[in-house]
Amino acid sequence: MSILKVARLGHPVLRSPSRPVTPAELATPDLQRLIDDMIETMYEYDGVGVAAPQVHVGLRLAVLEVPESDERTREAVPLTVLVNPEIKPMGPELEIGWEGCLSIPDLRGQTPRFSRLSLSALDRDGKAFTLEAAGFHARVIQHECDHLDGRVYLDRMDGMRTLSYQHELERHALPHGD
């Protein structure tokens, strides 16, 4: 496995809609290696998700995993491979939460996302699956799916007033534990 170079904001791959993965492509050793490399890259950069455009590949493919130790969630999210994902909100309720992105290092901003959603996708073996997600899990899915449509979290923010460097945010804005 290899750690891949992450595209940074300004690279055109991040602003281009991705094309669907074909069943023939998904079965190839090259695409399976790409999935493994995306997982390794996510781990290397302590991310909870990586979309193919973030590693310079314009395919509708993403990986995500949220460890139980992550304070942003109540439940761990197991390693999940999303091939050609489609999401549908489950109601109009939005939650505002802090987001960051490997392609926009060191910055965070408050971003509204649907509270609950339904996801349909293929797994890495080409098997269809559906799931419902809420809270942080739903946020991560929406964030990665935005990458597949050529969007980043900055596009979803209601304004730039909350955009902050992570270090300054931790020092001045986030509540400190007692």
Active site residues: 144
Query: 102 and 147 in contact (C-beta within 8 Å)?
Result: no
Dihedral sign of CA atoms 105, 100, 145, 26 in order: positive
Query: Residue 176: how many CA atoms within 13 Å on its side-chain side?
Result: 5
Query: Residue 96: how many CA atoms within 13 Å on its side-chain side?
Result: 7
User: Distance between CA atoms of 113 and 97, rounded to whole angstroms?
Assistant: 8
